[in-house]
Amino acid sequence: MRSKPGFLLGLTLVALFSPAVTGGEIDFSKINRTILKQPKYVAQPLYALFLMDAKGSSHHWAVLDKSKIDLPYYDVLYFDLTGTGDLTLPSNRFVGKYDKKLEPAGMGLTIRVGDVHVPGTDLVHKNFLISTTPKSNWKGIWFRMNWAGKTEMSGGYNRVGFDTTQYARTPETAPVLWPCPHARLSFGVWGERPLLAMGQPTQVNFIVGNCGSGPDTLCVVDEHFLMPEKDHLFATLIAKDSNGREVRHRTPIQRHC
């Protein structure tokens, strides 16, 4: 379901010390944005680029189009399964069908790609899909997949709020998403930015994942990836006392939802 990401921490503030990082460091500004071949589009195409291996070297374009120019949503996806930049291959075109029953979950129009085999490797991602119809008053395009058939990744989410990734009108400005759970993790706030009031309980929900090229590209890990029983997770409250001095209180996270 698209209603919320899989990993939530109901705490005041969170500082996360992630597990061993195996993914590489990426300078997203230096990524080659060339697309070798593109089809003739019906509507204004919308572009995003997915990095589908732990080093971020396997590049797969996702380009949204419409089957009819007057449709209120995007229902066609060109996804570069081969990683060669050739979007004209028949096997790279996918069409979704509107399902009114999935409207409440923000997935009325969902385009299902299925398995993605990363070229030159044994890595196979399962159940890759993209949804182009967010809930009312929300914006953006959403994806979900199982990295290596195991860890569910979803997003990309905004670092604050409910919106998801805004695909771009050109390859040069396209967001880059890296749904790898083994790269360096960071966090975002799920929901409106909270106001912490003295003497009153406040719940803040945090999402944890790998951030891509922009603030709305956070690819979130599922609730089974980080566990308080084996990972070092901490909540840190930072405030100022009556004299203006900074004070910090750090507490280990015992459980999450």
DSSP state of 221: E
Asked if residue 3 belongs to a domain, the reply is no
Asked if residue 1 belongs to a domain, the reply is no
Q: pLDDT for 153-183, tens place per residue?
A: 999 999 889 999 999 999 999 999 999 999 8
Reported confidence tier of residue 206, pLDDT bands at 50, 70, 90:
confident
Q: What is the mean pLDDT of residues 93-101?
A: 96
Check: CB of residue 166 under 8 Å from CB of residue 175: yes
Check: CB of residue 234 under 8 Å from CB of residue 250: yes
Q: pLDDT for 65-87, tens place per residue?
A: 999 999 999 999 999 999 999 99
**Whole-number mean pLDDT of the chain?**
87
Query: What is the distance between the alpha carbons of residues 56 and 118, in angstroms, rounded to a whole number?
Result: 11
Domains identified in the chain, total number? 1
**pLDDT confidence of residue 142:** 97
Asked if residue 34 belongs to a domain, the reply is yes
Question: Is it the case that residue 138 has pLDDT exceeding 80?
Answer: yes
Amino acid type, 163: D
Domain of 86, in residue numbers: 9-252
E strands, 132-245, are 142-147, 151-157, 160-161, 176-177, 186-190, 204-211, 218-221, 233-240
**pLDDT confidence of residue 5:** 57
**pLDDT confidence of residue 250:** 86
Asked if residue 4 belongs to a domain, the reply is no
Residue entry with tokens 């050739």: 86
Radius of gyration of the CA atoms of the chain, in A: 19
**pLDDT confidence of residue 246:** 92
- Of 8, 14, 10, nearest to 221 by C-alpha is 8
Reported confidence tier of residue 227, pLDDT bands at 50, 70, 90:
confident
Asked if residue 257 belongs to a domain, the reply is no
Asked if residue 205 belongs to a domain, the reply is yes
Asked if residue 173 belongs to a domain, the reply is yes
Asked if residue 2 belongs to a domain, the reply is no
Task: Check residues 190 and 97 and name the one with the higher pLDDT.
Answer: 97
**pLDDT confidence of residue 2:** 61
Both structure tokens of 188: 């975002």
- Of 113, 114, 142, 120, nearest to 57 by C-alpha is 120
Query: What is the distance between the alpha carbons of residues 39 and 236, in angstroms, rounded to a whole number?
Result: 50
Question: Is it the case that residue 36 has pLDDT exceeding 90?
Answer: yes
Q: How far is CA 74 from the centre of its chain?
A: 19
